[in-house]
Amino acid sequence: MDVGIDLEGSFIQSVTDLGVPAGAAKAIWMPLPMILMLIGATVGVLVTTWLERKISAAAQQRIGPEYMGPFGLLVPVADGLKLVFKEDVVPAKADPLLFTLGPILVVIPVFLSYLIVPFGQNLAIANVGTGVFLWIALSSVQPIGLLMSGYASNNKYSLLGGLRAAAQSISYEIPLALAVLAIAMMSNSLSTIDIVEQQSEYGLLGWNVWRQPIGFIIFWIAALAECERLPFDLPEAEEELVAGYQTEYAGMKFGLFYLGSYVNLVLSALLVAVLYLGGWSLPIPISMVAGWLGVSETSPWLEIIDASLGITMTILKAYFLVFLAILLRWTVPRVRIDQLLDLGWKFLLPVALVNLLLTAALKLAFPIAFGG
């Protein structure tokens, strides 16, 4: 079942009931999911940048932003406005076309990946049958934009940053894909909605993190490397490369890199929540909640409460992981580039392969426990 089609039909029916022609109602619907996705992802970035400042300040025993709006909540808005109004500079010897296309290629695949993220059973833009593989395919486009930006800048530091970004992405994309493949094997599906539903029957005990602890660790480490978060921020290491592939960028082009980085972090946290932490499912099965309240599982009020709690649970799980990512920034030192590549190729890749083979063996030996 395609959840997006259900939402589309309900919206078109509601609009046509108001006297609007069916063709016009469909035209109104078409841009709405993308607009909602863009707004939601941008708000998530604003919240994450504010949290980055406050959590970083707490880790360093500082106060952080306090006076620009209540609790400094307007600081991310000020950051965005500053980047919008800054002068857009293109270096004299840079390739203007590639220099402009680079940031666009970085941001668009990340936004498109939000299409497969479910916030509830009926709250996903599209239930793509090969959702997790679509995300892996889209995420492999981003390094092309980073490499393009580094090459087009005509700057040795930018080129080194772009090369590092490409090498880092290739190194960690394969363990990431193998970890996802183990989840798909257990769930008998590549759809993110099916993966969450498979975890929701037994509440907390049914989450994949208990059946795939090694895969969870591999996925989280590889996701941090894909997002270029400390201790894996080698492509833009300030002490070595000034700002890496971002060195020559200013204004909104730099803002797109900034936006893409945080959008990718939130997306990775959401995917960890969906694949390993039960997504929208509650720690207690909804059937038990219905029994405690003495109401039927098909009660409309229970369905509304379940949907509201599902959205809240998905966001809370994701932002708990964002909190851990920010905390890692101030507690773990940056690794060297050779250490980073060794970790990906010599450790995570073989461990991910063994984890996949072990998952296949356990699925054959214990089909009920491992989704046979």
123-133: average pLDDT? 79
Residue 62: C-alpha distances to residues 10, 54, 278 (Å): 50, 9, 35
- Contacts of residue 257, Cβ cutoff 8 Å, sequence gap at least 6: 103, 106, 149, 245, 246, 249
- C-alpha span between 171 and 345 (Å, rounded): 6
Rounded to the nearest integer, the mean pLDDT of the chain is 84
CB-side neighbour CA atoms (13 Å) of 68 = 13
- pLDDT confidence band for 5 (50 / 70 / 90): very low
* Cβ atoms within 10 Å, residue 169: 23
Instruction: For residues 319-346, give the mean pLDDT.
Output: 90
Tokens at residue 116, please?
């497969």
Rounded to two decimals, what is the model's pTM?
Answer: 0.88
Closest CA to 270 of 121, 119, 169: 119
Q: Report how far residue 191's alpha carbon sits from residue 188's, in angstroms, rounded to the nearest whole number.
A: 9
324, pLDDT greater than 90: yes
For residue 13, count other CB atoms closer than 10 A to its CB: 11
The residue among 210, 237, 228 whose CA lies nearest residue 139 is: 228
Half-sphere exposure of 310 (CA within 13 A, CB side): 25
| pLDDT tens digits for range 9-56 | 666 777 777 777 777 777 777 777 778 888 888 888 899 999 999 999
Give the tens place of pLDDT for each residue, 157-194: 888 888 898 889 889 999 999 999 999 998 888 888 88
Rounded to whole angstroms, how far apart are CA atoms 195 and 184? Answer: 7
pLDDT in tens, 296-315: 666 666 677 777 888 888 99
Residue 200 · residue 281 · CB < 8 Å: yes
Identify the pLDDT of residue 94: 84
